[in-house]
Amino acid sequence: MGSNFEFMNAKHITDRFIKYVKIDTESDPNNPAFPSTEKQWDLAHVLVAELKEIGMNEVTLDDNCYIMATLPSNVDYKVPTIGFVSHIDTSPDFTGANVQPQIHENYDGKDILLNKAEGIILSPDYFEDLLQYKGQTIITTDGTTLLGADDKAGVTEIVSAMEYLIQHPEIKHGKIRICFTPDEEVGKGAHLFDVEKFGAEWAYTMDGSEVGELEYENFNAAGATATITGKIVHPGYAKGKMINSMLIANQFIAALPQGEVPEKTTGYEGFFHLHDMHGNVEKTVLKYIIRDHDMDLFQQRKTTFQKVANEINKQLGKELIQIEIKDQYFNMKEKVLPVMHIVDIAEEVMCDLGITPLIKAIRGGTDGSQLSYKGLPCPNIFAGGHNFHGRYEYVPVESIVKATKVIVGIAQKVAEKFQ
């Protein structure tokens, strides 16, 4: 690895990140259009112009808001074409409009006041990971929005790495393809990804969290809806006639394993997550996500979900609970294991850079999980952020720079290995 990595311009990279996060790109889970929000085009057009400006080739923006570009090989021998992928949208779980980033230099390990007027504090007493970054420069929100490091940190790192490689032709590399996708946060980021057009043998999503994360396992995932039908009559004459769907919904919730929820599970443990509920006497709808790393356990969870509904329906003597379950994505491990050298390369690069690899399973999913099943093996690498999808999101500048170096290092390492 070239020592000139040490001279990456952190301010230039930070300014790029700040520019991106100020552009609202929140996606919409309720809109079937592609992309799900028009405002994602705003960042897409900025990126297209910037990629051309830094000297990337074959810069394209298709009708579905996928951006692709090429950095040509600068060696005279055959090297596998590799790719890097990030998403431009931010989560609809918390607003990404009017993001006001705050930069905290030389973090002292104490509470960070995000918003004095509203008394919003980012505290290491609650978010212990903050203490890893004492002495570093932390970028936060003002407490009223998310930050958007998921995944504009990844976008920043890919653009910055490509720019660095263009400016440093002494670093040898093969052909590199990059892609920025829309709608990852609503589960559609890879749906219209043209793997053949992308033309890479493998790729990496820059969509992980803390420094060192390297992931090639993720949840198997399904979305599940329980719709409970009740019957409304005047409460004064309700005996034997009213059926309160909300009370049946409560019975359904209580019948699922109470310890198998996100806030009580970790590692490889799966869960049932109730993320939305609304209703009245006549109708209540419960929306869940079902997750497990193990395929057999994943199938059992879906069976359990239906079984609980069947048992309550039997008790009531009526089919009042209707279940709909849709698979969303699967564990990429099955597709990556046959080509584990692509993980080994990323691990080697991290070690070369003095970064301790944290190889673990993702308790979620990325575009890479779906892309792996579409024929593009795609492990996930850290982008550096923490506390995604909420007001306490933050990212250290040093982490963004390290991830940028990892991208450059992978490009260089692949060229070395196939020389």
Torsions phi, psi for 337 (to 5 deg): -50, -40
What region, left, alpha or beta, does residue 99 occupy, with left being phi > 0 and alpha being psi -120 to 50 degrees?
beta
Residue 75's Cβ-count burial label (10 Å; 0-12, 13-18, 19+) is middle
The set of catalytic residues is 89, 184
In angstroms, how far apart are the furthest CA atoms of the chain? 86
Torsions phi, psi for 184 (to 5 deg): -65, -35
